[in-house]
Every structure is written in C-alpha cells, then in structure tokens.
C-alpha cells in the first residue's frame, strides 16, 4: 500500500519445508520453550517512517531464535481518521504520539509507519533470515480502505479521493463492508522487510524489492514463513502496513488497512544462500517477482521457482520448467506499489515425501467366544 491523502465518505464504524530441511547452524538455534517473548511497541523512538536503510540505528537487539511480539500502526493520521468518523477513543494514543509536532523528524521517502528496525545477532550478508510468523492479532476494531485521485490501478476512472471506515469483529473475524456484505478476516502485514544493501542507501517503503518490504502478499498470514536474504549486518527487520484482509492485486492501492500485533521468531540461516525473497505456507512453496514491468515480474517469479526446484528438489532445469507449468499457480500480488508483484505457488503435496501416510484402520477385535 502507498500512503495517500484523501477527503472522505464513511460507512459506519504440516508438510516439511525444503528450505528448512537442513537444521540451522549452532549459532542459529531456535529459542527453547522457556524463552520469554520480547515485546516491541510503536513510539516516536521505535518507528521507521517510510524507509528501509542499512544505516538505521536498531531499536531492539535479539538473538537468533528469539520470539518478538511487535505492535504496528496503520498508515493514516489521527486528523483524517477523526474526519472519517472514527471516535476519538478509538484512535490509538501511540498514533497520536507519533504524529505529534516534532515527534518524528526523520521521515520518508515513503509514508508507511514501520516498527523497528530489529537487529538479529549473527545475521550477516550472505545469510538468509527465516521469519516465522507465529501469530497476527487485531489491535483496533476498524480498518479503512481508500484511494486517491492519482493512485490505484484505475486513476483515469476514479480521478478523486475516497475513504471508507470498515468495522472489524474480532470475535467473528469478519469485516462489515456494507449492509449485507461481510468479508472474512485474514490479517497479514503488507510490509515486512530488512535493510537493503548498504551501497543502495535509503529506499522508500513503497516499492518492494530484494529486501522484501511492501510485498502486500495476502498469503503471508499466521503460520507461514518468510525468507529474506540478508544484505546488512543484523538484518534490521521492520514491519508495518497491517491489513485485515486484501484481494490479490490491491487494485485501489489499499487493503483493509489497520493496526496489528504480530508475533515473530527470527532464525539466522547460514545454511541457505539464495538471493531473492521466498516464502512458504503449511501447504505451498512461494516464489516472488517484483518489477515495474508486470511481464518481467512474472518471469522473475517463474525463474525463482525453477531455481528452487533445481536447487532444493534436484530437478533438471527442463523438468523444473515443466513442473512449474503443470502444477504451480501464478498470482498478481499487487499492481500499485511502483514495483508490481507476482508470486508463484507450488503445492507441497505433489512431492511424495511431503504426503501424510495413510491412516491405518485399527484391527477389529475378535468377538469373544460364546459361553457354552
């Protein structure tokens, strides 16, 4: 999602991973069951406003294997939310603190409010940071969707701005979009990323890239895992742009934008050495492409899947290309973040080792002999 300005209308208030088959190196041992969860809340001192940058000072340092609960803020300001009809007591104090005059001076070039960066000890360029998304919870009872007069996929059809406040029911995990229209909630973070290569300098939070960032991939929900190639010491993880749900494409430039609380486990993988973001769900492998040209983004997602199949499943390039054609699915991740996103999803169940063994029926006990 890009950050946009807008006037208003209102509506109410188990398969084994090929990437993780190798055990992590000793320095990347997962946390034990007794490890405490570290909490990180947003404040003027703990957010990165609109950027990823290898020179940013970390706000938290953790070890590989540690679990961190991170609270994030939606990308909008208190004044606009109030004008859209959000009650004053529903606007987070942390959001007001961040937007207070002079509270944050290091802003841009993007507009997302990202909590972090988090420094993961032992992460070095050439490693891969494994990010296990353990849980994602709603932080507030509403979301918004909006578009601007020059943004979205169809600005020529909608040359004006609008915003809609969408109530969220945490108990039912449903959003009420309009009378008679309810949307199941599948919360995820639109932006999860690490520092780009130092030579790149500061990058905007809007376009996704080698560092991950504003991928807007709706499949990265709780229970999934994101893998990012490390570009700078400590990785410097940042997260934000919470979405209660989104369609593939995110065509008007926003999803159901909201504040979320995510629980993550960070593991430094010195046994993995790929160079572009990947992910997996419990049932599928995901490769990604990001480019201003949609065709080039698509080619990248396909080439990444071929590379995965060759490196991890030991197929020939020809067989990998063929398997991608007959079994993998391409999705348009988003069309609105400068670099367009495409991802390819391959079911794990097609690999024999990933299938669950059939459950054997218990033998029927013999009936006892009747007494004579």
Task: Report the alpha-carbon distance of residue 93 to residue 321 in Å, rounded.
Answer: 51
Q: What is the pLDDT of residues 43-72, one digit of tens each?
A: 999 999 999 999 999 999 999 999 999 999
| Residue-wise DSSP of 15-41 | PPPSTTSSPPPGGGPPPPTTPPEEEE-
Q: Quickly count: other Cβ atoms within 10 Å of residue 372's Cβ.
A: 3
Q: Note the pLDDT of residue 367.
A: 52
Task: Report the alpha-carbon distance of residue 371 to residue 349 in Å, rounded.
Answer: 51
Which residues in the chain come in under a pLDDT of 50? Answer: 2-16, 22-34, 355-362, 365, 368-372
Q: Note the pLDDT of residue 17.
A: 54
* CA torsion, ordered 139, 145, 149, 153, to nearest 10 deg: 110
Task: Look up residue 121 and give its DSSP letter.
Answer: T
Q: Looking at domain 26-269, what is its CATH homologous superfamily?
A: Acetamidase/Formamidase-like domains (2.60.120.580)
**Which residues in the chain are classed under CATH 3.10.28.20?**
278-354
What distance, in Å, lies between the first and last C-alpha atoms of the chain? Answer: 80
Q: Note the pLDDT of residue 35.
A: 61
Task: Report the alpha-carbon distance of residue 350 to residue 326 in Å, rounded.
Answer: 11
Task: Report the alpha-carbon distance of residue 63 to residue 120 in Å, rounded.
Answer: 6
The two three-digit tokens of residue 63, written as one number: 């070890």
Q: Note the pLDDT of residue 353.
A: 72
**Which residues in the chain are classed under CATH 2.60.120.580?**
26-269
Topology annotation, domain 278-354: Endonuclease I-creI (3.10.28)
Q: What is the pLDDT of residues 138-193, one digit of tens each?
A: 999 999 999 999 999 999 999 999 999 999 999 999 999 999 999 999 999 999 99
DSSP helix/strand/coil, 85: coil
């Amino acid at each position: 999602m890009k950050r946009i300005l807008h006037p208003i209308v209102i509506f109410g208030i188990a398969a084994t991973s090929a990437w993780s088959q190798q055990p992590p190196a000793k320095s990347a041992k997962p946390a034990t069951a007794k490890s405490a969860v570290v909490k990180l809340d947003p404040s003027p001192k703990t957010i990165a406003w609109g950027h990823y940058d290898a020179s940013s000072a970390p706000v938290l340092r953790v070890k590989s294997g540690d679990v961190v609960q991170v609270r994030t803020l939606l990308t909008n300001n208190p004044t606009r939310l109030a004008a859209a009809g959000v009650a004053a007591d529903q606007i987070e104090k942390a959001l007001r603190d961040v937007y207070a005059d002079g509270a944050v001076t290091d802003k841009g070039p993007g507009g997302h409010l990202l909590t972090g960066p988090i420094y993961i000890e032992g992460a070095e360029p050439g490693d891969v940071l494994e990010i296990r998304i353990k849980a994602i919870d709603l932080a507030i009872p509403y979301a918004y969707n909006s578009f601007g007069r020059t943004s979205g996929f169809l600005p020529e059809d909608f040359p004006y701005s609008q915003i809609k406040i969408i109530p969220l029911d945490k108990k039912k995990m449903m959003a009420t979009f309009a009378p008679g229209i309810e949307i199941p909630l599948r919360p995820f973070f639109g932006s999860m990323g690490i520092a780009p290569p130092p030579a790149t300098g500061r990058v905007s939070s809007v376009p996704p890239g080698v560092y991950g960032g504003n991928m807007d991939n709706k499949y990265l929900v709780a229970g999934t895992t994101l893998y990012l190639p490390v570009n700078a010491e400590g990785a410097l993880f940042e997260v934000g742009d919470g979405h209660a749900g989104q369609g593939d494409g995110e065509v008007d430039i926003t999803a159901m934008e909201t504040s979320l609380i995510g629980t993550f486990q960070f593991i430094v993988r010195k046994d993995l050495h790929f160079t572009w973001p990947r992910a997996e769900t419990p049932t599928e492998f995901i490769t990604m492409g990001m480019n201003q040209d949609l065709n080039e983004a698509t080619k990248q997602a396909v080439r990444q899947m071929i590379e995965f199949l060759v490196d991890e499943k030991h197929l020939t390039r020809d067989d990998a290309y063929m398997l991608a054609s007959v079994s993998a699915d391409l999705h348009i991740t988003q069309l609105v973040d400068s670099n367009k996103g495409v991802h390819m999803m391959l079911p794990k169940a097609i690999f024999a080792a990933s299938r669950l063994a059939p459950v054997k029926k218990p033998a029927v006990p013999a009936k006892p002999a009747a007494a004579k």
